[in-house]
Amino acid sequence: MDKNIIPIRNRKLKGEFTPPSDKSISHRSIIFSAIANGSSHIYNLLTAEDCKKTLDAFRQLGIKIIRDKDKYIIEGQGLNNLGKTSKIIGCGNSGTTMRLLTGLLAGQNNHYILDGDSSLRKRPMKRIITPMKQMNAKIKGKNKDQNCPLQIFPSKLNGISYQLPVASAQVKSSILLANLYTNQETIIKEPNPSRDHTEILMNYLGFNIKLNDDKIIFRSSQNFKIPNSQYTIPGDFSQAAYFITATLLIPGSELLIKNVNLNPTRTGFLKVAKQMGGNIKTRNKQFLQGELRGDLLVKYSFLKGIKVNEKLIPKMIDEIPLIALLGIKAEGITEITSAEELRVKESDRLAVIRKAFNNLDLDIKMFSDGFRVYGPQEIKNKTYLDPYLDHRMAMLFTLIAIISDNGAVLKDSQCIKNSFPNFFDKLNKVIV
Ligand code: S3P
């Protein structure tokens, strides 16, 4: 659905904003509740399309899930009691659903088929199939294991020692879930630490999982019963990042962002925005279920360009497109490299940025693994922006349109529902 986005002109962002619940933690809390022993309660679960796919998958596998006002009740059946299904398990647009479920289902005693939408069908799956096969899983993917649909056959899994070729929380989590079924030790090394929500949750649930010298060591035991639990999911930092960006860029803005997850493996963008001169203060920090959360007070700021430290890339992987926009408005040069992973997200995000910035006559130099932008630049052209059905690109383009002189028409704005169903309402509420 096309959406005409009008510029903000003399208005600004003011007041308070509570981001939607964290998507990564929501997926993980559903998964561990489904294989726990007994009934778990999840408060503040994200009900966007991606998480609905994970909920529906477990319903299809025989798990009873009901919504009771502000909580979801999931009747866990233990590690080995996921049901059979002859129907395809549809993961939609959600890479996290597909990759994490593959690890979990590899250890069940049934045959499953997982498939996704046209975007997910293009995304790399060999990165999970390779370690799974080393664990003795029997998995077949399309195009010589490159893509889904994936077929999973029953097999007896074993532990492995595995060095991830690229930092990826989805691959790491898939291996950890498969290792639940080995009764052995698995060691995972990442080139650079990615989000650690799975490890935090497993620690919270009492698993024998440790981080030693940059290695994750997880020894599973068949006798371990996952306890039923109560989860309260914090707000999603990745969604807060759109509101941080708008506040930093729109003169006179000041916004209090409440109850957002501040796990340091997620907040690379916060570091970079501050290094660029962003006025952002953290308040009310506290740990709940092992996850750091707090509030952020953000004010309009004069920004300067920087070269982003490559080590931060996995800690801000979903927020990197926002750096291109901050760079357009910052004084000087802003540069990102080592972000080739952006090419295999819900869209090829570097290609989509290039196309949109060219349509807008914005000066950007693209690399195979990043970009360099020269700022400050005015955004004048009214244009038609195509996010290629990628929710994060659609939210970025909305911000570009509101800070531009003439607005823009956003194609397929409905794709934002994959992660942030009431994005436009929440944004309009804080514009005064
Ligand atoms: C996610 C991990 C990241 C991220 C995605 C969610 C997760 O993907 O981009 O939005 O929940 O584990 P990769 O593991 O492919 O980097």
| pLDDT for res 213 | 80
CATH of domain 23-221: 3.65.10.10
Asked if residue 223 has pLDDT above 90, the reply is: no
Rounded distance between C-alpha atoms, residue 336 and residue 342, angstroms:
11
| pLDDT for res 212 | 86
- Report the nearest atom of ligand 1 relative to the CA of 27: 11
Name the closest-CA residue to atom 15, ligand 1: 168
Q: What is the DSSP string of 342-405?
A: GGGSSS-HHHHHHHHHHHTT--EEEETTEEEEEE-------EEE--TT-HHHHHHHHHHHHHSS
Tens of pLDDT, residue by residue over 368-416, are 999 999 999 999 988 999 999 999 999 999 999 999 999 999 999 999 9
Q: Do 3-20+234-430 and 23-221 agree at the fold level? A: yes
What residues does each domain of the chain span? 3-20+234-430, 23-221
Name the closest-CA residue to atom 16, ligand 1: 168
Asked if residue 339 has pLDDT above 90, the reply is: yes
Segment 284-310 mean pLDDT = 98
Asked if residue 289 has pLDDT above 90, the reply is: yes
Rounded distance between C-alpha atoms, residue 352 and residue 383, angstroms:
14
Beta carbons within 10 angstroms of residue 44's beta carbon = 21
Please, what is the average pLDDT of the chain?
97
Probe ligand 1: pick from 96, 174, 291, 343, max atoms within 8 Å of CB? 96
DSSP strand pairing (370-375 vs 332-336): antiparallel
Asked if residue 214 has pLDDT above 90, the reply is: no
- Report the nearest atom of ligand 1 relative to the CA of 318: 9
Asked if residue 172 has pLDDT above 90, the reply is: yes
Asked if residue 329 has pLDDT above 90, the reply is: yes
Residues with CB under 6 A from ligand 1: 24, 96, 168-170, 173, 194-195, 317-318, 341
> What is the domain class of 3-20+234-430 according to CATH?
alpha beta
**Are 352 and 390 a contacting pair, CB within 8 Å?**
yes
Asked if residue 152 has pLDDT above 90, the reply is: yes
Tens of pLDDT, residue by residue over 11-21, are 999 999 999 99
Segment 161-171 mean pLDDT = 97
| 280 band by pLDDT with thresholds 50, 70 and 90 | very high
**Are 150 and 123 a contacting pair, CB within 8 Å?**
no
Per cent of the chain over pLDDT 90 is 98
Name the closest-CA residue to atom 10, ligand 1: 318
**Ligand 1 centre distance from Cα of residue 15 (Å):** 30
**Token pair listed for 231:** 């989860």
Which of 237, 243, 247 is closest to 21 using CA atoms? 237
The secondary structure element, H or E, covering residue 178 is helix 169-179
Percentage helix, strand, coil for the chain under 3-state DSSP, each rounded to 5: 35, 30, 35
14 forms bridges with which residues in the sheet?
254
| pLDDT for res 236 | 98
219 forms bridges with which residues in the sheet?
185
| pLDDT for res 76 | 97
Beta carbons within 10 angstroms of residue 265's beta carbon = 17
Q: First CA to last CA across the chain, in angstroms? A: 26
**Ligand 1 centre distance from Cα of residue 361 (Å):** 31
Name the closest-CA residue to atom 9, ligand 1: 318
Active site residue 318: yes
Rounded distance between C-alpha atoms, residue 117 and residue 312, angstroms:
30
- Report the nearest atom of ligand 1 relative to the CA of 172: 14
